[in-house]
Structure formats: structure tokens, C-alpha cells
Chain A
Amino acid sequence: MNDRVSSPMPSAWPVPTQPTVRRTAMKAWMEGMVYLLPSLLLFGVFLFYPLARTLYLSMFSTNYQGAPIRFVGWAHFAALFQDESFWHSVKTTFFFAALTVPTTVAIAFCLALLVHEKRKGIGIFRTLFASTMGMSVAVASIIWMFMYNPAIGIMNRLLSALGFPAVSWLLDPDTALYAVAIATIWMNIGFTFLLLLAGLQNIDPSLYESARIAGLSYWRQLWTVSVPLLSPTLFFVTTVSLIQALQTFGQIDFLTKGGPVDATNVFVYAIYREAFVNYQFGFASAQAIVLFVIIAAITFLQFRFAERKVHYQ
């Protein structure tokens, strides 16, 4: 009985020949490509081509217009790794990321917890907390520039009101990076907050009810329910914030121009200066490639190791 059931198809049925199979597969592939074409085109023009062009330029010396004039191979990269100011900007960038990313996520998480519950008028606070999202880097930078102004800024007024000596915020090499970091944290909180709040709202309320019936304290509920169930969102915002921090440019350009004494000369700003101030397009391209590799490597490591601790539902 069983033999008959499992026996192959009767030979009278058309069995597809090898070329037919290949032709159908080819057709399916072509069809898929047609659907992908619009996004492939966009990515190609704005992403793949510039990346390839940057890689190409990084191996050339260029003239003031940025046209490649002499092939130098990996010489730019070799010079880069010898360059002290390159290492300085790497260090500055990572220090900046370490200052901003954990703080942004922590503060945004606290804010999200605060307004998670349904209360009267909570919508006002939710909107307020998310509002920095709607502000461009330029506007935010100008606001902070005024606040940091040593003479008329509110920061120094607050300090003097509290009896502390004045600080020259953006003008002092010891404080400039911190000052920019504070402004950056403020700018990024809105977006991070919104994502974390959405994540919290997505958690099944019966899990909290069950925890309340079991008698879990608020902190236990936070650690056993909220944090693990929010971990996909936390992982996402951390990854995105880290990439953003490594690419910081706008606020540096507006607030400090990389100074004073290179104290805030983060990676992307250094690339910008190399290319558009010093007109070393080839050398700048090499730096851009290095930055790309660093970010790609970090993101890969994050997915490889941190994602294991994430609980997707």
C-alpha cells in the first residue's frame, strides 16, 4: 500500500526538463528585478555610485576642483594612520558618542516611562517631550548658541544665580565637547523618546496586570516586563543613535567649527575640512572610507553580540 502512495509520478506526466527549469527561474528573477528597479535606481544614484566614486577618489591625488590627477594607491590610507590629528578626531568622535548615546537613551526611556500611563492631559507632555524631533539641527544649534553665550546666555546666568563661576562653554577646549554633547542629547531625545514610548505602548497590558496580582514591585515590573519586552526597541534606538553620533556634523559646524584647538573636531567635520577647506579630496575620501568601514564594523558587532540579548516576540 505504502509503496504505491510514495511511488513517483506516473511517467506520462510532463517532467520539466533542465533548460525549462532554468528559463522559469530566470524569468522569475527578471520579474523581481523589474519590481526592485525604482529603488535600485535611487540607491544607485545616491548611494552606490557616490560610495564607489569615493573609493576611487581615495586612491588619487586631486586638483582644487576635485578631479583625480595622479593615482597614489593606498598611500592616503598609509598617511592617514600615521596622522596624529586623524587619531585625535577618532578619539574625539568615540568620546562624543560615549557621552551622548547612553545618556540620550536613558533620559528618553525615563521620559517615556513617565508619560506611559494614561492620565488627563498626558498628551501635552508627550507632545512636549517629542517636540525636539521637529527641530532642524540649524535651529537647535542657534538656540543653544545663545544659551551658551558667556555674556548673555541663560546657562551662565543660572550658574551665577546659583553662585558658581561663569563657564565659557563653547570657547573653552575643556568644556566645548561636553557643551556640544548636551545640545546633541537635547536634540536627539525627541525621536528616541517617541520610539521608546511607542514600544512601551505596544506591551500587552495584561502582563502588567498579571505582575500586579503576583505582587511584583514597580522596579521588578520594570526589570522583568518593561525592559526585556522593550529590548528590540532599545536595541534599535541604540544602534541608530550610535550611527548618528559617529556621523555628527551639523551642530559642530554651527557651534564650534571643530574648535577650540580641535577639541570638537569629530570625524565627519574633519573630513569636511579636509575636502572643502584644504581641498584634499583624495585624502578626505580615504577618511570617509575609513569611517564607513568603522561604522559598518560596529553595526555588525552590535547585531552579532548585542542582539542575542534582545527578545523579539
Chain B
Amino acid sequence: MAFLELIDVTKSYDGKKQVVENVSVAIESGEFFVLVGPSGCGKSTLLRLIAGLESLTSGYILIDGQVANDWPPHARRLSMVFQNYALYPHLTVEQNMRIVLQAQKVPKEEQRRRCLEAAEMLGLTDVLGRKPRELSGGQRQRVALGRAIVARTPLCLMDEPLSNLDAKLRATMRVELRRLQRQLGMTVIYVTHDQTEAMTMADRVMILRAGHPQQVGAPLDIYNHPANTFVASFVGTPPMNLAEAHVLEHSLLLQNERPVRLMRRPLPKTERVTIGLRPEHIHRVALGDGHVTASIVHVERLGSETLVTFELTKQIHWTARWSGQANVTVGEVASFSFDEHALHFFDGHSKRIGPPTRREEEAFER
């Protein structure tokens, strides 16, 4: 039995526009589940519905197999880490953590013990007596986490907890959060708009767009098999290269102007498709070889790798990712080859077209 289950969860504030629509998902105990999507996609609303801070318009929320739609927040036995941390400014770090336990009527000794334990875990022992305004951003963030830890609730909800930290600290906290979650065996539902956080932290990810779930799955599954063009372009940096294409006999006509001949894989039967190719599947070949020859419009050298943007057509620029510090210059004309088996095809509704069946492959090879 799933630990937390959402069935057709729908929320509308005005009765017309659905902020969250028909979300169904089962979350297992001990899972690190990430809700990710651009801002305004309804991910925070979904989290607040689970917390009981908002009421459902329709659908069910099941906690431990029981319908929890009408349970008040505290009856759901969860903790929540807010984006702005929601620390009480007039209370010390310790009081901020203990307030949760006071409400649960935990004995004083036990309160103290749990606080010290959490402080130890988070490196807050020296600042237990301080007020939030005397702490750094990272420390405040950890106090908010500490509150979730001392509560010992089986489920912890986190609403963009790292978004107020600087990039470096965020990277460290990602690792630390995940380590803590494993150590404590907490189930975490984590909201973020940052796909890197989603990819690096999650056991499973749900990608939301305008209140609709786009895809649920393990990060690499989603990366390798995006369900539609939105997911394809949302996950991965730089995003997947996309282009509209006409499917011809053995080639594709990209954006009505650039023909690309494919040698190693059958093409879908659909006439008009969108093709997608991740930057790491584009390689440089000798001039005149490969799939396309194009001029380079931008080069970003990151040290360990180089991002090369070239002009597929006037409107569409694609980016290739090469390891190492490639010796290319802007304005140079180069030839590129594609990993044909890494090509993704999406239909007219931007839905993924499945990979060719065994029989299609065989027919192609013959």
C-alpha cells in the first residue's frame, strides 16, 4: 500500500480555471519525490493541498490508505519547510524548534534531547540561543529543516527550500538534504522550479505544466524518454534541441529547408513530426561529412566541456556539447553528425512517438 496517494486531485479557486487538474500519483514510504515545473504550474498548490492548507475541489488524498481530504493539517502528521523558512522572528533557534513539540505535548526533557540531536545533525549547536535575524541564510534554512527533523513526522513537505540560498550553498545543501533524508528514512515531497535539483535529488519526479502532470518517473528515465516536447525541453541543461520535420522516405526535412539523411534507423510513419536531440549526441566530423554543415554562432567554454551553438536554420539554433576545450571559433563553418539512435520523435500534439518495434528495425535492416 502506498504511503500517500493522490487520486484525481483537482483544485480551482474561482470554479473556472483549474490550478491543479486530475493529478494522480502514489508515493511510497521513504521516497524522495520531486514536483517540478515552471512557476505558476501549480506545484506549490499541490503541496499545500497535501499539507491541508488548501481544500480540494475534487479528488481524494489518501494517507496510509485512509481518505484524508478533510483532515486538518496537524492530523496529517507531516512537517513543512517553507521557502521563506517561516521562522518566528521573536523566538530563538531552540524555541523555534521546540514549538512544534510543545504543540504535540512532548515532555520537556524529550524536547530538549531532540533539539540537541537535530542541532548536532545540522551543525546548529552553537547558535541554539540566537534569534533568526542573527543567522546567515544557510543557518536559517537549517533551522527550518531542524523543525521538520524534531517533529519526527513520517512525511516532510518542502516548498523550494533552497531557492533563497546562493548557488554554491545550494549545491552543498542538495547533497546534505538527501543524506539527511536517507539517514532519517523520511518521505519527502519536494517542490522546485529548478530541474537540476529535481534531477540530482529525486527518486522520482513529477513534471507539472499548467496544473497538468506531464510525466512521472525516475530522473534518468525522464531524461532519456521524455513524454513530450515540454518535458524534453524542460529537463536537461542546455535543453534538448528541437526542430519541426517532414518525414520523407529516408530523410527528414527540418523546418522546410534543411534535409537530413538518416542511415541507421527507420523513421516513424507520421508525416509531420518534431524531432529532438540532446546536445551530447551531436559530434563534430570532417567538413562535408555528417548530417549537417552549419556555421557556428556561439561558443561557451566551461572548462571540462564546450557548448557550441550552430545555425541549423535561420530561426532555429541547436547546441552541441563536446567534452574538453574544443578549438572552434564563432563564424566558423563546421560539419556535425547526429547519434541517430538518440533521436526523439514527437507527433503533432508534441507527444512522444515510441521507439521503432523490433519488426520495423528488421524490415529497415533488410
Q: A residues near B, CB below 8 A?
A: 204, 206-207, 209-217, 220, 224-225, 228-229, 231, 311, 313
Contacts and interface: CB of A to CB of B under 8 A. Distances in A.
A220 B103 contact: yes
Given A212-B53, A214-B99, A216-B99, A207 B74 contact: no
Interface in B125-180: 133, 147, 151
B53 A204 contact: no
B72 A212 contact: yes
15 contacts: A206-B84, A209-B53, A209-B86, A210-B82, A210-B86, A210-B147, A212-B52, A213-B73, A214-B99, A216-B103, A224-B99, A225-B88, A228-B90, A231-B90, A313-B133
Most buried by B among A211, A215, A231: A215
Contacts of A313: 89, 133
A33 B91 CA distance: 42
Contacts of A206: 82-84, 86
B100 interface: yes
B208 interface: no
Interface of B: 51-53, 72-74, 78-80, 82-84, 86, 88-91, 99-100, 103-104, 133, 147, 151
Nearest to A210: B86
B80 A213 contact: yes
Nearest to B144: A210
Contact of A210 (B52, B72, B80, B104): B80
A224 B91 CA distance: 9
A213 B90 contact: no
A275 B222 CA distance: 87
Contact of A209 (B82, B99, B147): B82
B53 A229 contact: no
Nearest to B95: A224
Contacts of B78: 213
A313 B88 CA distance: 10
A257 B103 CA distance: 55
Contacts of B51: 209, 213
B53 A214 contact: no
Contacts of B88: 207, 224-225, 228
B250 to A, nearest CB: 58
B61 to A, nearest CB: 15
A61 to B, nearest CB: 55
B315 to A, nearest CB: 44
B206 to A, nearest CB: 22
Given A209-B51, A214-B100, A224-B99, 17 more contacts: A204-B86, A206-B82, A207-B86, A209-B53, A210-B80, A212-B53, A212-B74, A213-B73, A213-B79, A214-B104, A214-B151, A215-B73, A215-B74, A217-B103, A220-B103, A224-B88, A229-B89
